[in-house]
Amino acid sequence: MPWVDKNECVGCSVCVEECQVDAISLVDEIAEINMDECIRCGSCHEVCPQKAVKHDSERIPREIQANVEKVNGYMKHFDDETEKEACFKRSMNFFKFQKTVAEKTLQQLETLKRE
């Protein structure tokens, strides 16, 4: 999914004009993508003169760091090591669940692709 690096967007609105489904708007002179409307066509990546519209792969390190910090923050609420361990395990289970959902979704999409 595309995303806009707000530090690089200059608000030129080229992506807004080119979006086939009107999923991009300017908010405070910065492009913002409505992910519920976005069809992931990639047009915004291609037309942005500033290269401010990024691919998800560029956000992976940030997302990982945010997840790790969030889990560390959860565990700070517990003094007891047993409770900390239980919290850690629940967090791990959450990410394993997300991984399973993603893997099974990919499998089903591959099946649809072959039909």
- pLDDT tens for each residue of 37-85: 999 999 999 999 999 999 888 889 989 999 999 999 999 999 999 999 9
Cα–Cα distance measured from residue 21 to residue 36, given in angstroms and rounded to the nearest whole number: 11
- pLDDT tens string 5-46: 999 999 999 999 999 999 999 999 999 999 999 999 999 999
Cα–Cα distance measured from residue 10 to residue 55, given in angstroms and rounded to the nearest whole number: 18
Query: What pLDDT, on a 0 to 100 scale, did the predictor assign at position 44?
Result: 94
- The hierarchical CATH code for the domain 3-54 is 3.30.70.20
Structure pTM? 0.68
Provide the residue ranges of all domains of the chain, joining segments of one domain with +: 3-54, 57-96
